[in-house]
């Protein structure tokens, strides 16, 4: 193990829970944690993908895994996960499950928007509360919450998705202050456009994008050192170029960007 892998294991081992583990950033996070020899609870809706992951990671890294097929949009999802993991010494939560939509808000399907609210916010809140308590009781641990650069201002043509990420961002910022004295590290990871399958589901045409592996590596490198990470040069350029502008201007600029991605 290299230095950062040893730090992850000593600080958060021996078990980590990764939601959204079957694809994208969640999948990349699981791979990085497996390299650090953390045992993994892999959570997603794709049973076959998770089982294959568990086999591959066990054979390659010699770790233990537990597969949990779960839809976090369901109200009982977090309770189910809590019961399944209650016998494990979980020291790290990576809440990577989530999805987005795009287009005019009034043209959206309310059922889909409510499902997104359940996954991106309600489930993340419950997971943070439950595993935050467990980590605080053991005196060490970590929460990785996936924010986004769209969470720093409103975003026309992805209005509700940006709102869910603003929720994640502000929650993570506050929890970092509250939980650090208890030995629990909290980080908000706010990447820019990422090649994670998000764009396809949201109906977006994306140009320059980050790779999930780079987002995962930057996030885990920063965990325990800062409460916010902007993974990748592209993310930093997009965020810092807007910082000097008033909020109303940032909203309109981001709206034009999103409009071009959804109407190309």
- The model's pLDDT over 39-85, given as tens digits with 9 standing for 90+, comes to 999 999 999 999 999 999 999 999 999 999 999 999 899 999 999 99
pTM over 0.75: yes
Annotated catalytic residues are: 161, 165
With beta carbons less than 8 A apart as the criterion, state whether 29 and 94 touch: yes
Domain span holding position 27: 3-262
3-state secondary structure of 155: coil
How many Cα atoms within 13 Å fall on the side-chain side of residue 260? 7
Mean pLDDT score, 168-178: 98
* Cα–Cα distance, 15 to 67 (Å, whole number): 13
**Confidence label for 236 from pLDDT (cuts 50, 70 and 90):** confident
CATH number of the domain that residue 12 is part of: 3.40.50.720
Considering its fold, how many domains does the chain have in total? 1
């Amino acid at each position: 193990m290299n230095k950062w892998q040893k730090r992850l294991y000593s600080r958060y081992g021996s078990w980590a829970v990764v939601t959204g583990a079957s694809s994208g950033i969640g999948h990349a996070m699981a791979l990085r944690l497996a390299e650090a020899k953390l045992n993994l609870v892999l959570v997603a809706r794709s049973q076959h993908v998770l089982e294959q992951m568990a086999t591959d990671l066990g054979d390659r890294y010699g770790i233990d895994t537990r597969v949990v097929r779960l839809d976090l949009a369901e109200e009982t999802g977090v309770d189910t996960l809590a019961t399944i993991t209650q016998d494990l010494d979980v020291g790290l939560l990576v809440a990577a499950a989530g999805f987005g939509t795009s287009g005019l808000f009034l043209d959206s399907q309310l059922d889909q928007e409510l499902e997104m609210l359940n996954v991106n916010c309600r489930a993340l809140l419950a997971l943070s509360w439950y595993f935050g308590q467990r980590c605080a009781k053991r005196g060490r641990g970590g929460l990785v919450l996936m924010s986004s650069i769209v969470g720093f201002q409103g975003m026309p043509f992805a209005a509700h998705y940006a709102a869910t990420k603003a929720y994640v961002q502000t929650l993570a910022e506050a929890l970092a202050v509250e939980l650090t004295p208890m030995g629990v590290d909290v980080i908000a990871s706010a990447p820019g456009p990422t090649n994670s399958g998000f764009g396809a589901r949201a109906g977006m045409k994306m140009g320059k994008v980050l790779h999930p592996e780079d987002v995962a590596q930057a996030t885990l490198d920063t965990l325990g050192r800062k409460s916010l990470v902007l993974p990748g040069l592209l993310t930093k350029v997009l965020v810092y170029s807007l910082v000097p502008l008033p909020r109303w201007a940032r909203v309109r600029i981001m709206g034009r960007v999103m409009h071009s991605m959804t109407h190309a």
